[in-house]
Structure 1
Amino acid sequence: MAHAVVKVNQSIIQQMQNTYQSNILPKTPPHAHFSAKVNGCTITAYQSGKVVFQGNEAEKEASRWGKAETNDKKKKNKTNRSLPAFLNDSHMGSDEAGTGDYFGPITVACVFATKKQQELLRELGVRDSKTLSDDTIRSVMKDVLLTDIVFSSVVLDNPRYNQLKSKGWSQVKMKAWMHHHAIQNVRKKLGNSSFEGTVVDQFCEPSTFHKAVRETGEQSFDDLTFMTKAESYSTPVAAASMLARYRFLQEIDRISEKVGFSIQKGASNIVDKQIARLIKQKGTGYLDQIAKTHFANTQKGKKLL
């Protein structure tokens, strides 16, 4: 059985616990924060900061949270050898932001860029958003949005997010639905213009993605390429990851202005304190307007009152 291990801080472990909330297993191993099972992969987060992923999708799931130590080097080399040939040609890429943050929406962006436009994007500083500070992303994206790239960004605000969650939608279904619409928007803008492919930064199995889109009443595109860490290989995906983060930051700024103080990103204990403060000032119901209320942070914030 393949396995992978990542070393993360406690803030990331909290984000992971919130992300896997609906997949948490009833029994928690000794010295562990939680254990969950997603798409056949068992995830166990230990108090030491080590998170162990076991199963056929271990490396892929672990890559969402950091650089993994893995026992499946052959599989990794095979993946690198099978990179799509169109990555240096005209293509589009999509990515998302905000999924592990208690406050604020989920944002998805899709970017199309020709080979020449990709060179310009790299010169402007486009790269994987996870390696850049929020201030750098804000600065670079202001320049990027002045170029002639074709893009679309989709924002799922918190009231709608919580409504869909109450209807049984998982985050995977929401993200698939959003990626589909962002890609669809860009394809409509391109019209008859040709492109070589579409890369989606992989967050679930392709079959799960297509099934989720169909369940929303849409017809999923059958020519998508799914890649883990796609932003490391595709400039359009890197640009999409930055654009999605940029839109998310704009929404966090808007929420901060609305509540009268700087909203904390992520899902740390600082977030719990801000939840308690907001409940005291505006009532529990107000959280539905600005937060993903199914996260464990909601109950932690209430306990602080």
Structure 2
Amino acid sequence: MQPYVLVLSDEQSECLLNYLRDHRWHKDQVPYSLYAYHTPGVKVVVYHNQKLVVQGKDVEDFVLHTLETEITHKPLYGYDRVNHPEWFEAHAGLDESGKGDLFGPLVAATVIADGTAVDFWLSKGLKESKAIKSDERLFKMEALVREPKGVVIETAYANMERYNELYAKFGNLNQLLAWMHARALDTALQKSTVQKGLLDQFVKAHLVQKFLKRSDFTLQQRVRAEEDPVVAAASIIARATYVRKLRDLSKEAGINLPKGCGIDAQKALTTLGDTVGRDQLKRYAKMHFKTINEVLKS
């Protein structure tokens, strides 16, 4: 029986803990856990991020007759294929990373997978990259994405000087992003001939298909597309690739280049301009950001 994984709310976690205590489950000591208990057929572990992992031969019975009836009050177990049959059909998922980060590349990622891979990912608690708080956890999830056989993964990105040249050519970030998505998707489709894909809606117009070589491919766009596990997998690949490239760029710059575009990024930009010269900022930063003009004027 595969482990069952679910992220609980604080209230649900407290309710579960009280249930386990009241029903005299045996307490365990598990590293990094908030609490852990077991009976002869089930082991329950809740971690500090409220991630619940249920293991043992009686997982299904516990989830259906205790967890969902007494704690969460939501029938979720085994219903993914009923509620979301499209998740389990072979298709492409697309996502990107770096769009809102001052330093480092814009990365477009395509993942193509079928129901076997989705079943595996769901059993391991796959979640989209924005829900992952640490780089270490991100890289672990990336390894899980790559584990199932037959999964196709492709990325598209450019070094920062090339990125800035491309932005000047396209004159619009969404146009550039659509072109990069089309590059990654076209390459992936050379390895797997699926007929459809899903992308988070970043513009109303179907810009990606304008750049796509395959005319018989249907690309859907919708808000919160990352609820689809294949799109979530693409978001993890895109973010992990971005983080690695940003680390490489930091080594080249000789200073830590932070994610985002907040105060830390602005301070790093000023330091970098003083260190390498403002004419060299194009090697590290997205030159169309308003922050760039503010630093150059100062």
Q: Same fold (TM over 0.5)?
A: yes
Alignment partner, residue 152 of structure 1: 154
Q: Is the 8 A contact 1:206 1:226 kept in 2?
A: no
Cα displacement (A) at 1:168: 4.1
Question: Which protein is bigger by CA-based radius of gyration?
Answer: 2
The SS at the match of 2:260 is coil
Alignment partner, residue 35 of structure 1: none
Partner residue of 1:170 out of 159, 172, 178: 172
Alignment partner, residue 199 of structure 1: 198
Alignment partner, residue 129 of structure 2: 129
Alignment partner, residue 142 of structure 1: 143
- 1:134-192 CA-to-partner distances (Å, cap 9, x unmatched) read 3211221133324321111111321111112222431111111111111111111115x
* Unaligned segments of structure 1, at least 5 residues: 1-82
Alignment partner, residue 227 of structure 1: 222
Cα displacement (A) at 1:280: 0.8
Alignment partner, residue 40 of structure 1: none
Moved more, 255-264 or 92-101: 255-264
- 1:233-253 CA-to-partner distances (Å, cap 9, x unmatched) read x11100000100000000111
Q: Is the 8 A contact 1:86 1:196 kept in 2?
A: no
Residue identity opposite 1:205 in structure 2: K
Cα displacement (A) at 1:129: 1.1
Closer, same or farther: CA 139–207 of 1 in aligned 2, 3 Å: closer
Instruction: State the identity %.
Output: 27
Within 2, Cα distance between the matches of 1:298 and 1:190? 41
Alignment partner, residue 265 of structure 1: 259
Alignment partner, residue 112 of structure 1: 112
The SS at the match of 2:157 is strand
Alignment partner, residue 39 of structure 1: none
Cα displacement (A) at 1:117: 0.7
Alignment partner, residue 241 of structure 2: 247
Q: How many equivalent residue pairs?
A: 214
Closer, same or farther: CA 186–210 of 1 in aligned 2, 3 Å: closer
Closer, same or farther: CA 286–125 of 1 in aligned 2, 3 Å: farther
Within 2, Cα distance between the matches of 1:219 and 1:170? 23
Residue identity opposite 2:203 in structure 1: C
Alignment partner, residue 32 of structure 2: none
Cα displacement (A) at 1:266: 0.6
Residue identity opposite 2:90 in structure 1: S
Alignment partner, residue 291 of structure 2: 297
Higher relative contact order (CA 8 A, sep 6+): 1
Q: Is the 8 A contact 1:91 1:197 kept in 2?
A: yes
The SS at the match of 1:127 is coil
Alignment partner of 1:274 is 2:268 = yes
Give the alignment's TM-score, normalised by structure 2: 0.66
Q: Is the 8 A contact 1:99 1:106 kept in 2?
A: yes
The SS at the match of 1:108 is strand
Within 1, Cα distance between the matches of 2:85 and 2:130? 25
* Unaligned segments of structure 2, at least 5 residues: 1-82
- C-alpha RMSD of matched pairs (Å): 2.1
User: 4+ runs of 1 displaced by more than 3 Å?
Assistant: 206-211, 218-222
